[in-house]
Structure 1
Amino acid sequence: MTDIKGFHHLTVGVAGAQEDVDFYVKLLGQSLIKKTVLLDGEDPIYHLYYGNAQGDAGTLVTSFPFRQIGVKARPGSGQIRVINYSVPAGALDFWRARFESQGIPFDKEVISRFGEQRQRFYHPCGIEFDLVASDKDDRPPCESPDIPAQFAIRGVHSITLSLREVHESIIFMKDALGFDYAGEHGPYHRFQVADGTPGTVVEFLHEPDRLQGSSIYGEGTIHHVAFAVDSVEQQLALKEKLFAMGHIDTSESVDRNYFRSMYFKMPGGVMFEAATTDIGFAIDEPADQLGSQFQTPSWLTDRKEELLQRLEPISV
């Protein structure tokens, strides 16, 4: 039995902040639920959180816009390659027309994998996304005035990892994290936790000839995936389990203001995180006003205005 409930969030290194807001909010209909700063390092970098209006775990993708300081990461294996969003069955034609009308790059062919139709499209910085059509997602829609509920994104469906080797990573997913092996489709391997509904699925893409990507924060890559756990106690239990298996490159529990994080790498090199759900985004602004103001954690309160002045202005 695993304490992992599914996804908490994914974190991406992008280019400009405004084009990122436009992509998630204006194109995809997500809500900007938090504007804050990257808590690591000295240079002020936005940390922007997108998801459903409530900021529910499993709907969240977060961004670091690194164009401001010119740091680029190198895409490759040992990384998350694709973020997959869940949309209702029958919604893909709506989204293809929307991408066409807004000049968003997308693949002309809809593909099918594991019995699900998928539409590939691309973030302005080049990161790959799929829309996955599913009739098994009962999460509330991320509606906007020009996106009807019957077509709207529900949240993160799954992630696709690029791995040079898969054998030890398959063992890791099953024995360390408690995922079930759910099948194989060509070079793809599928895992699920809980009931396997959207928000609980991980895919491996076996790419033995793809060069290793970088692990740094930087523009153009998906830096890590966070899985949801209830508490620090569950983080520590997972840490002990990882240590017992020899996976000792595991962080302490780190305060991220809205949750606590513990980081670790799986054998294929992808950065994983266990993030707690016991704090939430309403600790510094009302639940019905999430994302309305720039926020900093308590230890940066005296620098709030200075940090904001050094960041790119953004509007929703």
Structure 2
Amino acid sequence: MYLGWALAGLSVAICFIIALLLLTAIFRKRKTSNPHKIESEGKGLQWVYIGTGISTVILFVLVIYSLTVLNQVAKPSQTPSITITVTGYDWWWKVEYEHDDPAKRFITANEIHIPVGQSVLIKLKSADVIHAFWVPKLAGKTQMIPGLINQQWIQADVPGVYTGQCTQFCGVGHAHMSLEVVAESVEDFEKWQNAQRQPATQVLRAEQDSGYKLFMDRCAGCHAVRGTDAKGEHGPDLTHLNSRRRLAAGVLTNTPDHLMEWIGNAQLLKPGSRMPSFKLSESEISALALFLSTLD
């Protein structure tokens, strides 16, 4: 932030000085005796030398300052509190919260929760084409290249929801590949994290429901729901679907009506996505909606 203000302030000052010198040259009156006579050869060049020298020193200082700030941004002053691996897909984000204990690792999608005031390490991968991870208010852009793992760290000092976007054109659905970073207090983050680690609730009862059977028949090949036999990896993990603010990487707000609209019209809302448009009867819609409503 300070680097941006410093560069902006210096740019304004330079523009002001240039404008002032230009106006001085325009309105300055030459001697009337012989206005075209050059007073002394090389006299005006000394100001060129002085201006060049000052500009060189300023630019050199700015280079040192910029490199220092960028080095601080690349290396957090403290050990990251959590490490998250984000994988870009056409066109959504897989979010994996890492932990030394495998039982405490979990996966979500399109929404990243972080504690306020703590540095977070983000490992960036791509599952298909080149993507770019960018949350403007938290960090710069970082490429996500197949076969490579890049990384950046982010830190939010103020609670809130920070919008991010893929900034590398990655196909027809590129414009509909957004994400959200939710910065919350440490206590709220711990509550959210502990809830996310749990398997889906009411699964045993749901196994006898037609909605659960329909989900396993139509959706389990691509989506996972921990606590069930749904182990798909091609689409977002839906274990705690209803805890998310938005659907389809930001296309719709997460409401029951929008969820069923997405299921029935995915290719219309997000052409080219891996999610097909399902044609369901009214009874199937009701049954599937009832099952999905349990994924809190």
Same fold (TM over 0.5): no
Q: Which has the higher strand share?
A: 1
Using CA pairs under 8 Å that are at least 6 residues apart, name the structure with larger relative contact order, 1 or 2: 1
Larger Cα-atom Rg: 2
Q: Which has the higher helix share?
A: 2
Task: Name the TM-score, length of structure 2 as normaliser.
Answer: 0.24
Task: Name the TM-score, length of structure 1 as normaliser.
Answer: 0.23
